[in-house]
Structure 1
Amino acid sequence: MWTDPNPAQLTRREALHRLSAGFGAIGLAGMMGSQAQAAVKQQITPRAKRVIFLFMNGAPSHIDTFDPKPALKKYEGQQPSGKLYKAPKTSGFMSSPLQFHKCGQSGIEVSESLPALGSIIDDCCVIRSMHTNVPNHEPALLMMNTGNLQPIRPSMGSWVLYGLGSENENLPGFVVLRPTPNIVVGPALWSNSFLPSEYQATGVITSDMSVDKLVANVRNSALALAPAQQRRQIDLIQKLNHLHAAKREQDHALEGQIKAMETAYRMQSAASDAFDISREPAKMRELYGDTPFGRSCLLARRLAESGVRYISVYYTSTGSQPWDTHSDHYKNHPKLCADSDRASAALISDLKQRGLLEDTLVVWTGEFGRTPYSQETQDKNKQVDPMRRGRDHHHTAFSTLLAGGGIKGGLAYGASDELGMNAVEKKVHVHDLHATILHQLGLDHEQLTYRYAGRDFRLTDVYGDVVNGILA
């Protein structure tokens, strides 16, 4: 057995060297990278290879989309009772004026505000029994995106990339698409937190869809070097970087930066193709719609097709939370639905037509729902204006739609009570949703852990159960 005469001064790198492993072992680990990591952490036969997470910032109303509540008409105007998060300023229960239609062969009822999703509902699963911890945007956003109410924990995309690695080494494995930087909470929603920096998302602002604006400095236009010259330049810089890193034990930020530079070099040709939606036929661009969300969904499909593992698409506007309809609910809700419905359904249909839906999991959700009762809106004279009623935040019942990736289509799972106040049947918490997403990717949410500050962390903390009832 080998012993060291002065173990107190022995570094990890010196130990590897003396054991005849040295830098070779580190290099081997770097070359094996994501493949070795996936072999360690992947314990379940995967049904999905990638995720496209469509996030409706501000929270859509479940009773105006996927969860019809005709009983609300019976209680119209009555004040809600029981345990409420806060005493509401309301004129009472407010039924939806929108019609619900039985759609597809499954006959799932979908609001008239979502006709395109209704037309493909047999490819989708609607969970009507979602619930989360609190009805405040910031903690609910963090819960849905990171599995924790407080910053800063690794986002779901970072956990997925940590567990599976990237499918395409020439592109980032985790991409966040948003038309504006004005998002409540912001980068903490897609942070790698204490996970190594190589699992951080690449944030892309989609207000300008030209490739040079989507991915800044992707082309080496300043020096106009030939590929071979550029390769020699990168090799020299990376050698210097590795010499620098050798003097700094376990500097994850530095290691991540070194890997990021290599990825950036390889992205020059791959990104110019994958991020360029102008290569799509005009008919395809029209299918998705010429809106920020429509263009982002089309880009998401191109990235999925190119091997990006996890893609978040945030539905935002200059107001950052367009679905937060505290007033003028029935003026704004149909407009929002028209845009989201068209692009979301186009994405699911397009993936299916290309044979990608089978192993791509699409999720459509907000951070919570909206109250079955109205929220009063006052005019400039502080008088209640009944024509401008809204709906407040609601966390004890809301709906989430999933499609593809081994999820059972044509299924309405779970239920809220007759007024849409509380999830009551086959309740699904956000932790359960996360556990199910990881399961479909071949990851056991209880085994996907990372040790930090003396404890093992995971996306679902100490909670979560896979929702087996929605699996095909």
Structure 2
Amino acid sequence: MEKSMYNSLPAVPRSRREFLQALAAAGTATLMMGEPRLANANVQVIAPPAKADSCILLWMAGGMAGPETFDPKRYQPFEIGLPVEKVMSTFPTIDTSVDGLKICQGLENVAQVMDRATLMRSVVLPDLGDILHSRHQYHWHTGYVPPQTVAAPHIGAWIARMLGPRNPVIPPFINIGQRLEGFGEAEEVKAFTTGGFFGSEFGPFNLPYPEDATLAVRPPKGMSAGRFTNRYKQFKELVAASPQAEYASDYQQESMIRSIDSAYRLLNSEHKSAFDLSLAPRREFEQYDTGRFGRGCLLARRLVEAGARFVEVTTEYIPFYHWDTHENGHTTAKRMKEEVDRPIAQLIIDLENRGLLDRTLVIVASEFSRDMIMEGKPGSTAKDQSRAAADVLGEMKHYGLHRHFTGASSVVMFGGGVKKGFVYGETADERPCIVTKNPVSLTDLHATIMTAMGISPKTMFEIERRPFYVTEDGKGQSVNDIFA
């Protein structure tokens, strides 16, 4: 293969600084690239029949522990002096609407809609060295381990590019709940929250605060329509004449302008009312209103009704907050379940009542799971990042699963053609709780999602005469056993 500037990129960044440097290099290279060309790489690519028209990804950012949520193990209540090696689940089990299927306490509402779900307990994630959440989140969202020679598109950008908008006015890829400024690893999170080499028009419409989403689809307060139109025209001219334009290809510049045109159309459309949560009936709003994530689920439902193609709603990744439990694991998991339980269940019920669930794939997932004593997976050399390291329980902060675990992870899917009340895969009952039946790689998980959406896992684009596949190297195999 010809030598290029990319050969100098480190294969495995060992620090946040190296990660950022590599991503910045890839991003700059992408801006200079021309239009990506759909190709078949000498294989016949046949799109599977679509089982879903829309996709909602409910992202449990920070590492949702399977044994505390959807894959319960032996329960051990808190007791001072208890050896931590005896602690596997810190919540007792509860029954679900599926005979014989149990999940963890705190998910009582989700338990009642599991008869609409396929629960995959056997997703196996790679050990990427020292575990950086942003690296694993980049991998999950793009299907590729960073750094890459180009900016890899987010899974939402792939779906937007391949399927196009369902409603030409509604952005096909919408990201709800994640702030991209003002916290550690923000730049890394930005790196995968993009359209990648597809360009700005397929990137996310970011709405960090769902209750303020309507502000993103109307002119600034006090600005007349005529003045706003004039500013819109001037902004387009500014983009074309900016100093950065000389470093961007014609395609990337045109993509930016098309994204501006799309935003302008939305601001002048009656469909923008879908972004306004104040228009939801009060009782409906209260059913979702457990916090920013809950309001995001309501907004996602309204946007899918209006024609959004892909929506991600996140509990938000901020280091050492939310699902990123390095101490006080039990207490934090209890709080997080209070935030996500009712909105997830209500979203499924509402989509079903509106006749949308069958054609909407809803996914609940996280970058990896957690364990009480193991970092990474068996044999891993990853550095232990726990803030509550102890051999015995001495105080409440020690109680809970606060180490990263990549040996198994749970993913829940609703609608989109998946089987109802179905469990796929198993994990060991005793530590290490690795997958013991039907392992699913992230590549195959992506292939499964793409198959549900009617996109071949072998889909490939040529980027500067180099192949780039929707699943890594086009090798993803859909787990067809989960489809009805």
TM-score range, shorter chain: 0.7 to 0.9
Cα distance between partner residues in 1 of 2:427 and 2:363: 20
- SS of 2:225's equivalent in the other structure is coil
- CA deviations 1:135-156 (Å, max 9, x no partner) are 5412211111111120431110
The aligned residue for residue 14 of structure 1 is: none
- CA deviations 1:116-153 (Å, max 9, x no partner) are 11011101111110111125412211111111120431
* 2:211–2:295 Cα contact (<8 Å) kept: no
- CA deviations 1:21-46 (Å, max 9, x no partner) are xxxxxxxxxxxxx9xxxxx9872211
TM-score relative to the length of structure 2: 0.76
The aligned residue for residue 325 of structure 1 is: 325
- SS of 2:58's equivalent in the other structure is strand
Letter of the structure 2 residue corresponding to residue 44 of structure 1: P
* 1:129–1:414 Cα contact (<8 Å) kept: yes
- SS of 2:137's equivalent in the other structure is helix
- Residues 1:386 and 1:335: Cα distance change in structure 2 (over 3 Å): same
The aligned residue for residue 349 of structure 1 is: 349
The aligned residue for residue 222 of structure 1 is: 223
Which one is further off, 235-244 or 388-397?
A: 235-244
- CA deviations 1:90-113 (Å, max 9, x no partner) are 842413242212311443211111
1:186-197 equivalence runs, <5 A: 186-197=189-200
- Residues 1:116 and 1:238: Cα distance change in structure 2 (over 3 Å): same
- SS of 1:284's equivalent in the other structure is helix
- CA deviations 1:201-244 (Å, max 9, x no partner) are 111121652611xx165469523339xx95x9979998999999
The aligned residue for residue 396 of structure 2 is: 387
Letter of the structure 2 residue corresponding to residue 200 of structure 1: G
The aligned residue for residue 454 of structure 1 is: 465
Cα distance between partner residues in 1 of 2:84 and 2:69: 22
Cα distance between partner residues in 2 of 1:122 and 1:207: 29
Aligned pair partner of 1:199 in 180, 195, 202: 202
1:309-324 equivalence runs, <5 A: 309-316=309-316, 321-324=321-324
* 1:126–1:413 Cα contact (<8 Å) kept: yes
Letter of the structure 2 residue corresponding to residue 415 of structure 1: E
- CA deviations 1:155-175 (Å, max 9, x no partner) are 101111111111111121101
Which one is further off, 175-184 or 233-242?
A: 233-242
- SS of 1:385's equivalent in the other structure is coil
Which one is further off, 434-443 or 233-242?
A: 233-242
- For this pair of structures, how many residues does the alignment match? 410
> Matched residues, percent identical?
27
1:376-455 equivalence runs, <5 A: 377=388, 385-389=394-398, 390-391=400-401, 392-419=403-430, 421-446=433-458, 448-455=459-466
Cα distance between partner residues in 2 of 1:318 and 1:138: 10
1:161-240 equivalence runs, <5 A: 161-181=160-180, 182=183, 184=185, 185-206=188-209, 208-209=211-212, 211-212=214-215, 215=216, 218=219, 222-225=223-226
- Residues 1:317 and 1:377: Cα distance change in structure 2 (over 3 Å): same
Is 1:337 aligned with 2:337? yes
- CA deviations 1:349-401 (Å, max 9, x no partner) are 1111111111110010110000153767269xx99734321420000111111
Aligned pair partner of 2:59 in 55, 72, 86: 55
- Residues 1:207 and 1:308: Cα distance change in structure 2 (over 3 Å): closer
Cα distance between partner residues in 1 of 2:184 and 2:218: 24
Cα distance between partner residues in 2 of 1:309 and 1:64: 31
1:432 shift after superposition: 1.1
Letter of the structure 2 residue corresponding to residue 68 of structure 1: P
Letter of the structure 1 residue corresponding to residue 364 of structure 2: W
1:272 shift after superposition: 3.1
Cα distance between partner residues in 2 of 1:275 and 1:41: 37
* 1:57–1:320 Cα contact (<8 Å) kept: no
Cα distance between partner residues in 2 of 1:278 and 1:265: 22
Letter of the structure 1 residue corresponding to residue 333 of structure 2: H
- Residues 1:209 and 1:290: Cα distance change in structure 2 (over 3 Å): farther
Is 1:267 aligned with 2:262? no
Letter of the structure 2 residue corresponding to residue 398 of structure 1: S
- Residues 1:233 and 1:59: Cα distance change in structure 2 (over 3 Å): closer
* 1:42–1:164 Cα contact (<8 Å) kept: no
Which one is further off, 265-274 or 136-145?
A: 265-274
Cα distance between partner residues in 1 of 2:218 and 2:279: 20
The aligned residue for residue 364 of structure 1 is: 364
Unpaired segments of 5 or more residues in structure 2? 1-37, 39-43, 375-385
TM-score relative to the length of structure 1: 0.78
1:270 shift after superposition: 4.1
The aligned residue for residue 12 of structure 1 is: none
- Residues 1:317 and 1:468: Cα distance change in structure 2 (over 3 Å): closer
1:341 shift after superposition: 0.9
* 1:127–1:414 Cα contact (<8 Å) kept: yes
Which one is further off, 192-201 or 57-66?
A: 192-201
The aligned residue for residue 480 of structure 2 is: 468
Letter of the structure 1 residue corresponding to residue 468 of structure 2: F
- Residues 1:54 and 1:298: Cα distance change in structure 2 (over 3 Å): same
- CA deviations 1:323-356 (Å, max 9, x no partner) are 0112111111111011111111111111111111
Cα distance between partner residues in 2 of 1:402 and 1:337: 18
1:49 shift after superposition: 0.5
Letter of the structure 2 residue corresponding to residue 387 of structure 1: M
- SS of 2:57's equivalent in the other structure is strand
Is 1:130 aligned with 2:123? yes
* 2:88–2:371 Cα contact (<8 Å) kept: no
Unpaired segments of 5 or more residues in structure 1? 1-33, 35-39, 80-89
Letter of the structure 2 residue corresponding to residue 399 of structure 1: S
Cα distance between partner residues in 1 of 2:248 and 2:387: 59
Aligned pair partner of 1:117 in 110, 115, 119: 110
Cα distance between partner residues in 2 of 1:321 and 1:149: 24
Which one is further off, 409-418 or 104-113?
A: 104-113
- SS of 1:259's equivalent in the other structure is helix
Cα distance between partner residues in 1 of 2:132 and 2:317: 19
Cα distance between partner residues in 2 of 1:327 and 1:384: 12
- SS of 2:411's equivalent in the other structure is strand
Which one is further off, 417-426 or 51-60?
A: 417-426
